[in-house]
Amino acid sequence: MKSDTSDLDALWNSAPPANGTFDRASLAHLPEPVQRYFAHAIAPGTPLASAVRLRMHGAIKLRRWRPFKAEQVIVRDRGMIWRAKVKLGAMTIRGFDCFVDGAGAMRWKLGGVIPIIRASGPDITRSTADRFAAETIWLPSMLCRSEVKWNGDDSSVAHAHFSVHGSAEDLALTLSQGSLQSVALPRWGNPDGGRFREVSFGAVVEQEATFNGYTIPARIRVGWYFGTDRFDTEGRFIHATIDDAMYR
């Protein structure tokens, strides 16, 4: 897979049209906290989008915090591509992370020329599949499909259970009156450079914004060791702000 805009365009253009519109009454069988979440996240009558295209900026931790700008496409049933530019002093790192059609990859180059990260294989695929699952918070219409099973007897935490290309996902959403406060899941990874294994991963939502009928996290802090003291001391590695979101 290349790292240019055409890949994002191809994924975006592959998205099927929205199927129906949002009606809270159709979710009456779900736990009440989950119903409140969807009523908060999707305005009545909003087309149930199959894809979202995001523009964002923020900071990523590469030894120290570095500014980045990125664009991302997330498509239901296919996956995602996150393409970014990171300022590293006078130089720029360009590249992408992706999970598309059951395969994950990372490709990053210094100055657009010198390869610094080129990774793929089963561990990367499993890790990026988990990331794709977490990022469904930017595509709430994907979470209200019948394939997603919910339990949410606790008024503050709801769990979404679904499969990403055969990988079972358990997404924990912390809610307050329907508003998303955080998202967490066990993610396959090796944040300490050791062997790959499941590590707690998640994001704190600091601010929301509404785009085309969808109210989504617009400023987040993301990292490993979520829910522990290590999240703030060594786990956090990205702060992101959503500048725009387009739905299809």
CA distance 93 to 91: 7
CB 83 within 8 Å of CB 71: yes
Whether pLDDT at 180 is above 50: yes
Domain count, the chain: 1
Average pLDDT for 125-153: 95
Whether pLDDT at 41 is above 80: yes
Q: Among 108-117, 163-172, 185-194, name the one with the lowest average pLDDT.
A: 108-117
Structure tokens given for 186: 């066990």
CB 30 within 8 Å of CB 23: no
Average pLDDT for 2-13: 76
Average pLDDT for 148-174: 93
Nearby residues of 14 by Cβ (< 8 Å), 6 or more positions away? 75, 78
Q: Which structural domain range is residue 109 located in?
A: 5-13+20-247
CATH code of the domain covering residue 76: 2.50.20
Average pLDDT for 9-24: 96
Pairing mode, strands 114-120 and 149-151: unpaired
Closest by CA to 36, choosing from 181, 180, 203, 216, is 180
What is the overall mean pLDDT for the chain? 95
CB 98 within 8 Å of CB 81: yes
pLDDT at residue 5, as a whole number? 54
pLDDT at residue 226, as a whole number? 98
pLDDT at residue 3, as a whole number? 42
Average pLDDT for 159-173: 96
CA distance 75 to 70: 17
pLDDT at residue 78, as a whole number? 96
Contacts of 147-153 with C-beta under 8 Å, sequence gap 24+, read 150/30, 150/31, 150/34, 151/31, 152/30, 152/31, 152/32, 152/33, 152/34, 153/31
pLDDT at residue 75, as a whole number? 98
CB 222 within 8 Å of CB 203: yes
Whether pLDDT at 2 is above 50: no
CA distance 30 to 169: 18
At 6, the pLDDT band (50, 70, 90 cuts) reads: low
pLDDT at residue 89, as a whole number? 87
Whether pLDDT at 144 is above 80: yes
Structure tokens given for 184: 């967490």
pLDDT at residue 154, as a whole number? 74
Whether pLDDT at 4 is above 70: no
